[in-house]
């Protein structure tokens, strides 16, 4: 097997899979808890990243709405139902005898209080974003599409502030995600795509320093909770971080010469390619580890949690595919 074989045996973009793998890695780090500064940094971009990359893969194909919606429901809502049912059973057995509370959270207000599967909110928000963006993308006029995107994003940003309650299934976060899908779609279709995503390292470094400073100026943001602080800085930081990530991942792939290193990158990319599984199971694995392993050295402990969580997610992903228990 040659380096070329590894990167071209499928139509997948290795760099973008690595970018999503980094997003999953950041998510796991956030769930384990590496401190408030790391948490602030991660939340500036890691969930917008998945909406953005999805927009890059969005196809301008002639397909009717019902077919598109059914396809997205199968890929996003069925896994939500599978893992959500598992979560509900475990919660009733080990956490509470209250059958109604967890059920209401799972099938209505899934943005908080979901014990060990808090990341499931993303599946319903992502479904919302895809459905809305499909409708917007069918508008032929670019100006009208832009107006529609800005309107939807603005509404999704304001609703958590204006309403005394959150929309069900974290739909307002999905509405904000529409904007990132739009930006990703625009970038991928741009004739300057190759140039803008393969910048020299010294440019990437300078942009990285600026974005890092702006992230800490804006403070803690969280799409799931509807917290954006300075909205302009939120968008600059999220898009800037994603832009840096794409360039760095392309740089890594472009400069990797060793066959063994490329195989390692290919293995890491599984975390991005099968990101849905990692998203759904990581917190359950973390919960098991927390109740199984305790050390006095906290720093060593959280790194052990990190390594074992990632390996555990790989194992679950392998078993699901091998046994064909769930087909997404």
- Measured CA angle at 247 (ends 75, 61), to 5 deg: 40
pLDDT, one tens digit per residue, over 130-141 is 999 999 999 999
Per DSSP, helices labelled H in the chain are 3-8, 14-32, 36-43, 46-56, 65-72, 78-94, 100-107, 121-137, 142-162, 171-189, 193-196, 201-218, 231-255, 259-273, 275-292, 298-323
Residue range 208-217: average pLDDT?
97
Q: What is the pLDDT of residue 317?
A: 94
What is residue 295's three-state secondary structure? coil
Tokens 């991660």 correspond to what residue? Answer: 42
User: Which residues, including other chains, have CB under 8 Å from residue 96's CB and lie 6 or more apart?
Assistant: 102
Q: Rg of the Cα trace of the chain?
A: 20
Per DSSP, the chain holds a count of helices (H) and strands (E) of: 16, 0
Over pLDDT 70: what percentage of the chain? 95
Closest CA to 198 of 265, 256, 254: 254
Over pLDDT 90: what percentage of the chain? 78
- Higher pLDDT pick, 9 / 115: 115
Closest CA to 124 of 137, 109, 114, 138: 109
Q: What is the pLDDT of residue 324?
A: 75
Lowest mean pLDDT among 43-52, 59-68, 124-133: 59-68
Lowest mean pLDDT among 13-27, 28-42, 59-73: 59-73
C-alpha of 260 from chain center: 28
User: How far is residue 269's CA from residue 271's CA, in Å, rounded to a whole number?
Assistant: 5
């Amino acid at each position: 097997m040659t380096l070329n074989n590894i990167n071209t045996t499928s139509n997948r973009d290795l760099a973008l899979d690595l970018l999503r793998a980094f997003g999953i890695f950041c998510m796991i780090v956030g769930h384990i808890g590496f401190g408030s500064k790391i948490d602030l940094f991660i939340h500036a971009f890691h969930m917008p990243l998945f909406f953005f990359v999805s927009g890059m893969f969005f196809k301008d194909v002639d397909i009717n709405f019902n077919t598109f919606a059914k396809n997205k429901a199968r890929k996003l809502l069925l896994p939500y139902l599978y893992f959500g049912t598992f979560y509900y059973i475990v919660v009733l057995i080990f956490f509470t005898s209250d059958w109604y509370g967890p059920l209401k959270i799972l099938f209505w207000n899934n943005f908080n209080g979901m014990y060990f599967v808090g990341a499931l909110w993303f599946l319903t928000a992502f479904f919302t974003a895809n459905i809305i963006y499909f409708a917007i993308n069918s508008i032929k006029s670019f100006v009208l599409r832009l107006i529609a995107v800005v309107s939807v994003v603005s509404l999704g940003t304001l609703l958590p502030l204006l309403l005394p309650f959150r929309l069900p299934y974290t739909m307002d976060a999905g509405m904000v995600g529409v904007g990132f899908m739009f930006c990703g779609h625009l970038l991928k279709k741009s004739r300057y795509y190759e140039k803008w995503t393969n910048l020299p390292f010294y440019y990437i470094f300078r942009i990285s320093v600026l974005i890092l400073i702006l992230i800490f100026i804006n403070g803690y943001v969280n799409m799931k909770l509807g917290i954006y602080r300075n909205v302009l800085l939120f968008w600059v930081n999220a898009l800037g971080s994603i832009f840096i990530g794409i360039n760095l991942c392309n740089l890594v792939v472009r400069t990797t010469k060793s066959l063994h290193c490329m195989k390692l990158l290919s293995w890491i990319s599984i975390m991005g390619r099968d990101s849905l599984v990692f998203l759904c199971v990581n917190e359950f694995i973390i919960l098991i580890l927390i109740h199984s392993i305790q050390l006095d050295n906290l720093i060593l402990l959280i790194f052990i949690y990190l390594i074992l969580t990632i390996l555990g997610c790989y194992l679950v992903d392998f078993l699901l595919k091998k046994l064909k228990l769930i087909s997404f």
